[in-house]
Every structure is written in structure tokens, then in C-alpha cells.
Structure 1
Amino acid sequence: MKSKIKNSVFLSFIYIHLITVFTKLMSLFVKQDGKLIVFASFSGRQISDSPLAIYNIIRNDPSFKDYRLVWLISRSLNKNADQLGIVHARFGGLKHWYWLIKAKYWVSNSSIDRFVPIKFKNTVYFNTWHGTPWKIIGPEEKNISPLVRNWYKKVCFDYLTLNGEYDCSVFKNVFPNTKDYLKIGLPRNYLLKKTVKSTEIKSFFEKYNLDNNKKTVLYAPTFRDYSVANDLAYLSKKELELIADKYNLLIRSHYNDSFKSSKKFHNVSAENINILFHIADFMISDYSSIMFDFAITNKPVISIAKDFDLYSRNRGFFFDEKKMPFPILKKFEFNAIQKQFSIAPKNVENFIGFLNPKLGVKKIKSILSGKSFKKRSN
């Protein structure tokens, strides 16, 4: 049913208007709480990424001790949230809308509003998005559903974080109704400037039985929104095992995808991305924005794009492959991959030049305490 609604212009129209009317009526009976912040990551699929980084910034600050922090998550995350001591409600349930109406602040890295571009009086919508895109995103996507296309065109963020000058040029077209673009980098990357405890690394190696004498490769491909055989898009099991024979191989899949672990490699998609970045010596991806984040570590990044022509036709790119600051291999060649592992990324400042943890934390606290918003409204 969800798929039918998303892909039908008529059903999308009905869905948007029903939710809009329902929430507007509900808002007449729910008083907004100026000290309530609601979080969601990847539309409730995870407790992660920049929303989690912001949650930890706020939770650990005594000046926010009177604030209530609520996560909107899928049912499958309930146990994990309980273990972390997180207050939560089901993403998409009735309480989802109650908390959105009740909260003054929304923090998300995608759609917290179920692709219904609504906001309530005095709501502050803080969005971090989830990466610097090479692939086309937004209303210009070729295979996008009517519901999502409408959301891109009409959603109104009060604040959207940016990684670099390139982000500025892209997101002003992707989210044209955004009120304020923050040049502070992605909050999830602030911890990359900090050292990870040796005990955490040791614990990770023991958990996955990794070899201390091997270098570690992180494979992080993106999602395909068109039909293609897995081995023609992603690295095949044989290719993965070839890498795993020489390196510790970790796989972080897109939240719309999944990879099964084997005796030779491990799916670590549920692990903290900052830990993965610190542990990995190299990254292999394809078209994912995660490449730009990993470049902050100044470690080698390679794009293996076996279905480049097909992806280009079906999804498209914001800029020519020749402008990519990372090498692109259009077929799997193990020797060529190993050769590229010795080369650090170059000329990435245009993509990640805004990263400023000190300024970013200060700005985030100012916004979520109401200070920045009051100043901007005057």
C-alpha cells in the first residue's frame, strides 16, 4: 500500500491532504513544548548519523537538562533504544504526529514528516541531510516517486547543514525553500577530529575476529533504484573474498540494502560510522556520498563503478567523473585497486571545507536553545 501511495499522483495528493488536515486539527488540542526536541535518522530506520551526534551534544550539556529528547524509530529498534535509555515512539504511528506537533524542534537527516511537507506554528526544522551527493538527488531524479518529488519541492527547512562550497550550489536547488544554510559541516563528522580510544578499537577487532596484522578495507556502496543483477552493480562474493584474503573486509550497506556476512567478511552497517572510519585504512565505494566524509581522514578512497554507464543513464550525476577527487575504476582489477590504496585523496576542500566542530557545536546549541532563531526573526 505504501508503494502505491508513493507512486501514484492521485493517491499521493489524497495522502498529503489527509495528513495535513488531520495534523492541523490535532494541533488545536496539543500545546507546543518549547523544550522538546524530536529526532529521526533515515526516516526512523536507524539511531545514527548527524541526528545522533546532535542528540549527544544536547544530552551531555547541563544547560539542556530541562529539555525532553524523543526519537522516532521503527519497531525493530525498540530494544536497542531501551538499552541506550532513549525515549522513543514508533515512526509513522499516531504518536509520531503527536510528538511532531508537540515539539518545537525537529532534527533529522532525511524526512521526519513522512514526505508530507508540513510544519506547525513556531516549529524549527533542523535538517543535516546525510552526505555530499555526486549522484543526482532531489526533484530532478529520474526514477523518483510523485510523493517524494513533491516533498523535495515544498519542504521548508529552517536550517540545513552544508559540507563545502559544492554543497551550497547543489542544495539550494534540491531544497529551494530552505531558510538558512549552515556552513558548519556535517555534525556526524565532528568526532573524526577526535582520537578513538585504543580500548574501543581493540574491542571492535575482537568482536569481529579481525587480524591485527592486516590492513582494513571498508566497502560502502550506495543503493540502486533500478533493476540490475547484484554482481553487475556491487562487488560479487568472489571479488569480496579476494579482497578479504589480503585485508580485513568490513561492509557498510546503504539503509535500503543489506549484505550477508560470511566467514571472510563482516556486515558492520549497525556500527558507529566514526569507529569504522578510524579503523579502516582504505575505503571502496561506488557513487555514495560517504566517500567525501571518509576523505576527511586523508585516507585512500576508490570508486569501483562496474555499472557506471547504466547508473549514469538511470540516475545521473551532478558533475563529470573527471572532476571527482577520487580514482574511478569501471571494472574490478585487484592489482589496480591495491595500487590506488597508496594514494591519498586530493583537492577535496571544495567538498568538505566547512567542517568546523567548535563553531558547529556552538551554532547547534544556540539554535536548539532558541537564541539563534529569535535573533534571525527580529
Structure 2
Amino acid sequence: MTQLSVIVSGRASLSRLRECLESVTAQPYARLDVVVTVPLDDPAARALAETHETRDPRVTVVPVSPHASTATARAAAVGAARGAYVQFVHPDDRLPEGAAAAVAARLDALPEAAAVDVLLCDHRVAHWWDDAAPSGDTELLTRLPRLTSLDERPALLDLAPVLGARVISARLLDHHPGLLAVDGDLYPAYAALLLARRVACCDTVAVVHRRDRPVQRRAAEPERHFAAFGPYERLHELYAGCGNPAVRARLYDRMTADYLATLARRDELPPALVAEYFRRAARHAARFRPEGHRAPGGLDGVRHHLLAHGAYLGYRALRGANDKRRALQTAVGARAGQVAAVRTRRRYRAALRRRVDEDLAVFSAYWGRGVHCNPAALAAELAELAPDIRRVWVVEEDRVPLLPPGTDHVVPGTPHYWDVLARAKYLVNNVNFPNDVVKRPGSVHVQTHHGTPLKRMGVDQRHHPAAAQGLNFDALLERIDRWDYSLSANSHSTETWARAYPSGYRSLDYGYPRNDVYYRATAEDVLAARARLGIAPGRRAVLYAPTHRDHEARWTPRLDLPRLAERLGEDTVLLVRGHYFHDRLPGPRHPRVLDVTGWDPVEELALAADVLVTDYSSLMFDYANLDRPIVIHADDWETYTRVRGVYFDLTAEAPGPVTRGQGELAEVLTSTAWCDETARKQRHDFRLRFCEYDDGHAAERVVRRVFLGEGEEGLPPVLPLGRRTPAPTPEEAARR
């Protein structure tokens, strides 16, 4: 049986690395050898890899320098690999179930005398909307003979250069160490074919290769967009002394096709780089063009001719003509009902021609509901640290009377609204601005979010139709593409946002600004909050905050609240906070059941409460900052997880006791179970994971970094959990 080495090497988000390593170590193939390289400056990745190393004797972790290139890391991994064949896998990719055994079986079935250097396999492609789409290589792989060579079949170069789909013999790597001398997949994927004496082909799916969205590639550093030029130059030099003109021609065609495809992708190559990219591509097209080479016919042939002759002006003219033709088709197909929208866009476009106002910031929260959540905390901190920046809120007309006095605001749809959106340097929101909003060069969009995710979010909702009802994923992605920054309160959120909202923004792992109050509030603030709510001294306040359920048409409380209030007794008051989608508490009233659904801010309710009871609301993650008891009432957990989807099992990793029925909840709240030592230990572990960056200075970090342009090194460091002091409990506040 062939021993196969799988090398996992490269940088990726922790969630992607976790998924990749789990897919590799889940392979039941006994003779699998796994080598994982981890940069020394990524302790989280190293800890994850070492966990797998401890659990699985097949895994070897190879630490590499923080500055090690992909090529250097792969070479180090090959030195530790024990297999006769090696498969290179990027942490963004994963192995399908049973792939290792299937690949090894293909290798074992080869004739011993074949001396196969490369086994060419199929792959699947993972997009945000499809976890394993066909590769496009399957038909060619099935047509190719089982054993061949590049000289016999130059069409091998038409297979996508996915390195994980090429299983390379250790013998070939030993004889040609330069095969791993270039970063990326392109060079080693093609060089392995150019150097191999014999190649085997099969239709086994060896890897699921993840493709970033174009906007993610566009957000890369400029040099990344030119990354193909070096490998193609090295490949042509590698094959320069070889005698098969058909292979040289095929390599040239592959190169020019890639260059022209990149130039054609408007959503990937930034406009400022197009001219330079064309110039460098034209240089290669002229330099490596085989003698007597014939360009394809039709429009493709025109593009090849323009590239080979460096005719950038001609290329621009052709591109412009195509743009005009498409624009004319779009205009002709416009419907009469779009006239009003066109007028609005014209007014907005006119405002976009004005210069960006460097001292204008637009804030919005919960689709124009007012001054709330993370944007409100940021606006308050901005007023302290940068008072010269004007702060304007987007507020729906019916919410204007509820604004704090003197709040500068605009109403959606008005000329003033479009004017400030067009000119503002900063746009801050905890949801998303409308589809029509344009991301101007020089503007800065900050996505603050409005909670730590338990339920599936963003594109992760695509397999949960009840949650995704009416959601246009393409439009969602266009809105995400405007983000420059995404705020996060913990590593779990950072990983989840990267997967649920795939784009080119930067994550600010600074904490949630709205949670700063939980560390800044004083005993007087706590007592004042209770007084405003009418909570008598000595009474226990239970904050009950259920979340919205997508599969229910209207809010129906899952508890008999009057009966629960009677069971809890005279010394307990229930503060019932419905989701912001709902206006008020339905059902009968009780003197110790206080409907606080419309009470703002919710942070004041949290400060006033002695204990939180919730099901799946993200309020639990914020409330945990107070280090006060939390009870999870998960009576419909199975239904909720099936309909909405979740990221982890809350019932197994809860911040306190978990109840499944009203009687059980009442029993917990009438005993010491809600606040005993077991509950305290659960809460501590929960806080370690989900209150990771919240320490009372989140808003300051965001304002200094985003609005004042300060570097990371000058920001207040996140305090360890043990050094933070939450606001006093109501009991502690009463004693002061």
C-alpha cells in the first residue's frame, strides 16, 4: 500500500484552517502522513495544528519563520514528509471524504514499471454559494489515456493549475528541488508536468479547491495582481531547451489566455493597474511567442493580436466599444417603471461628483431606527476625540421624534439624505446601507454588526430557506463589498464574519463599542437604571429576552409569564424584552411583569438586571461582560437549529444552566442553581471565549484607528479578562 503525504501549508483564516485539518485527519487511510506548516507569529494556528498532532499520530507540525514564503514552507514540509507521493493542500481547501484512500488506490493500481511522476486527479470548486461545484476538468480527464506524458498530450496544460489535484512523487521532488522554488500554485502545478517523465490520469476528486470572490482578490496588495508573471517566465525558461514545439505553443496559449482573462475581469483587476498589467503581459506575449504561432480566430484573435503587439490604445478602444454596446443594450431593455429610480440616481450621481467631505460621518443603526448600538457608542466617542467631524444620523421619519435633542439627522429618500451619503468620508452602520449607495474612492465604510453570531448569518443562510426568505445573496454580496472594516468582539465572530460575509474588508478585533458601558458604568448608573424602571430596592430583576424566530409569523411568548411571575414570588420582577422586530408584549398583564420591549438602550436594562434569561439572543454574549448569571431557556432548540442553523451547540457550551420547560426554568430560578459555583464556572468559560476583546476601550480603539488614522501599535491594548472590572451588580451597588 502506498504511503501518501498530505502537506498543508499556507496562511488562511482560523476557520478555514480548522475545516481543512478536520477534513484531512478525518481520512481513515492508515498509511496517511500529514505535515502541517505553521508560521511562528500565528499562535492560534499553531495551537490548532498541535491539537491535531496530539490526537493523531499521523500528523507532524513544522513551525516556519513568520517571513517564510510559501515555497520555503513547502520545502520544509517536504523534508519532514515520509510518503512516496506528496499532495500539497492549501488551508483554504479541504479533502473530500475518502479522498486519501481513493488516491492511494489509484496509485497502487498503476503498473510497477510505469514510474509515474505525477498522478493527475480531478477536483471540485467551493464558492460561497456552492460547496463543491464540478471543476470543468472532468471531461478532459476522462478522455486522456491512463498513462501518458506531456510530450504525448500537450492538452494536459489545459487542466486548471490546482496544485492539490496533482499528486507528485517524492522521487521527482528529490530530483528537482527547484520545482518548489516559486510561490503560489501556478508554477509547481505546471512545472511538475513539464518535468515528469510519465503522468497518470484519473477522475478521482482529490481536493475541494476554494475560490475567493473577485472582490476579495481585488482587495489584495497590488503585487498579488501581477503574481502570474514570474511563474510564467520561469516556466518558459524551464522548457526553453526542450524540443516539443507543441508543448511550447500550448504553454504560450495558456499564458496569453490567462493574461487576457485577467484583463477582462473588471471586478478583480483594479482600474489603476490595467495599463501596467497590459504592458507586462504584452512584453511576455512578444518575448515568448513561438515562431509561426497562429492566433485564434474571431474576437479572441483580435485581442491576442493587440496584446502581442503591445497595442494598449487599440485594446482600450475595443474594450470601450464593447462597454458602449452593453450599456446600450441595458438602456434599451430598461422598463418604464424605472423612471423614478433613474431620477433619484441622477440626483445622487450629481452629488457624487462633488468632493468627499473629510469631516463628515454618517451613522445608521437597525435600518434607520435611531441612535443605537455600536454606531451610537462610536458616535459618542468620536464627539470626544474628534469633535470637528460632523455626525449625521440616518433616521426614518416616524422615529425622528424619539431622537435625542439636537441630533443632526436626515430622512431616507430625501435630497439631503442622498447628499450626505454621496459626500461623507465615513459611513458607519450595524446592518447595511441600501443597494444604491456607491462606495466612493476615499470613503470609509465601517460595518459594526449588532451581535455575536449563534445563528447562521450572511451567505451561510443559503441552506436555511426560512431564514433566507426574500434574501438576494448577489445584492448582499455587493453591499458587503463596500465594507472597509468589520468589527469583531471575539475570534469566533472574526472567523464567522470571514465565512458568512466573504469580501476584501479588514477585521478590527477591538471589541464591540456598545459593550464599553459594561466596564465604565458606576454604582450610581446601576441604581439610576433600576430607579427609572421602577424596580424597588431589594427586588431581584430577571431580564427575559427571547429572540425572533424566522418561521413564526408573529411573536408568541414561549412562557406563561404571569404564572412564572407568581412562581418566582413577590421579590422578583420580570423585565420582558422582545426582539426589536416586535413592538410590544402580547398576552395578559401582571403587576410584576414589565414590558420593556421598546426600552432603549438595552444596555440600561442589562445594567439593571440581576440575571438574564434568554433562548438564543445575542444579548447573552454582551451581558456576559457583566459577569452576572445567565440562564438559557432552550425549549425548541432542535427546531431552531434545523430551521435557522447555528454555529455551535449552545446547550453544550452554555454560559449557565440550560432549561427545556417552564417548570424547569422556575425550579432553577427558585433555587441556587442560577448563581451557584457550577453556573459561575460555565460563565467564566463562556466569557473567555466570547468576551475576548471587550474591555471598555473598544470605541476608543476604533475611533483612533479609523477616524484618526493611528497605527495599531498606539492603540490601547486589550486587557486580559482577569484585569477587567465590570460594572457592580445591583446588590453591590446598593451597598456602596
TM-score, length-normalised on structure 1? 0.84
Q: 1:20 to 1:240 in 2, by over 3 A?
A: farther
In the other structure, the counterpart of 2:364 is 40
Residue equivalent to 1:136: 456
Deviations 1:288-324 (A, max 9, x none): 1110111111111112122222212211111123233
User: How many correspondences in the alignment?
Assistant: 354
Two-structure CA RMSD over aligned residues (Å): 2.9
Deviation at residue 40 of structure 1 after TM alignment: 0.6
Alignment-derived partner of residue 8 in structure 1: none
Whether contact under 8 Å (2:545, 2:614) holds in the other structure is yes
Residues 1:289 and 2:609 are matched in the alignment: no
CA contact (8 A) 1:74 1:91 kept: yes
* Mapped partners of 1:80, 1:88: distance in 2: 12
Letter in 2 for 1:128: T
1:279 Cα deviation from its structure 2 partner: 1.5
Aligned to 2:668: 336
Alignment check: 8 A CA contact 2:348 2:418 kept: no
In structure 1, the gaps of 5 or more residues are 1-10, 374-378
SS at match of 2:486: strand
Question: What is residue 6 of structure 1 aligned with on the other side?
Answer: none
Q: Which residue matches 1:87?
A: 408
- Partner-residue secondary structure (3-state), 2:685: coil
Contact (CA 8 Å) 1:185, 1:356: kept in 2 or not? yes
Give 3-state SS (helix, strand or coil) of 1:57's partner. helix
Kindly indicate whether residue 560 of structure 2 is the aligned counterpart of residue 236 of structure 1: yes
> Given residue 552 of structure 2, which amino acid in structure 1 is its aligned partner?
S
Distance in 2 separating the partners of 1:367 and 1:330: 44
Match of 1:192 in 2: 518
Q: Identity over aligned residues, as a percent?
A: 23
How many angstroms does 1:134 deviate by? 0.8
Residue aligned with 1:353, SS: coil
Q: 1:318 & 1:239 partners in 2: Cα distance?
A: 33
Distance 1:92 1:284 in 2: 39
Distance 1:371 1:204, change over 3 A: closer
Partner of 2:684: 346
Please identify, of 260-269 and 218-227, the stretch whose mean Cα deviation from structure 2 is larger.
260-269
TM-score (norm 2): 0.45
1:49-80 deviations in whole A, cap 9, x for unaligned? 1111111101123xx23221100012232123
Deviations along 1:115-174, one digit per CA (max 9) or x if unpaired, are: 557412211011110111111111222232454533443313111111111112211011
Change (3 A) 1:92 1:331: farther
Match of residue 272 from structure 1: 601
Contact 2:631 2:655 in 1 (8 A): no
User: Could you tell me which residue of structure 2 aligns to residue 223 of structure 1?
Assistant: 548
- State how far apart, in whole Å, the 2-side matches of 1:240 and 1:85 are: 42
> Separation in 2 of the partners of 1:228 and 1:359?
37
Selected match of 2:576 from 238, 251, 266 = 251
Give the corresponding residue for 1:357.
696
SS in 2 for 1:284: strand
C-alpha change, 1:332 and 1:77, in structure 2 (3 Å) is same
Query: For residue 235 of structure 1, what is the amino acid of its counterpart?
Result: L
Select the structure with the greater relative contact order (CA < 8 A; seq sep ≥ 6).
1
Residues 1:336 and 1:70: Cα distance change in structure 2 (over 3 Å): same
Q: Pairwise mapping of residues 142-153 of structure 1 onto structure 2 (< 5 A)? A: 142=464, 143=466, 144-153=468-477
Q: 1:100, CA displacement in angstroms?
A: 1.2
- Are positions 1:300 and 2:629 aligned together? yes
Structure with bigger gyration radius: 2
Q: Distance in 2 between matches of 1:285 and 1:251?
A: 10
The 1:94–1:370 alpha-carbon spacing in structure 2 relative to 1, beyond 3 Å, is: farther
Alignment partners' CA distance in 1, 2:374 and 2:357: 23
2:240 aligned residue: none
Q: Deviations over 1:238-263 (max 9, x none)?
A: 34533574412212222112333753
How far apart in 2 are the matches of 1:357 and 1:178?
28
Shift of 1:92: 4.6
> Deviation at 1:21?
5.0
Q: Distance in 1 between matches of 2:435 and 2:445?
A: 14
Q: Distance in 2 between matches of 1:130 and 1:178?
A: 20
Distance in 1 (CA, whole Å) between partners of 2:496 and 2:595 is: 31
- One-letter code aligned to 1:160: S
Secondary structure of the corresponding residue to residue 173 of structure 1: helix
Equivalent position of 1:74 in the other structure? 396
Distance 1:352 1:358 in 2: 13
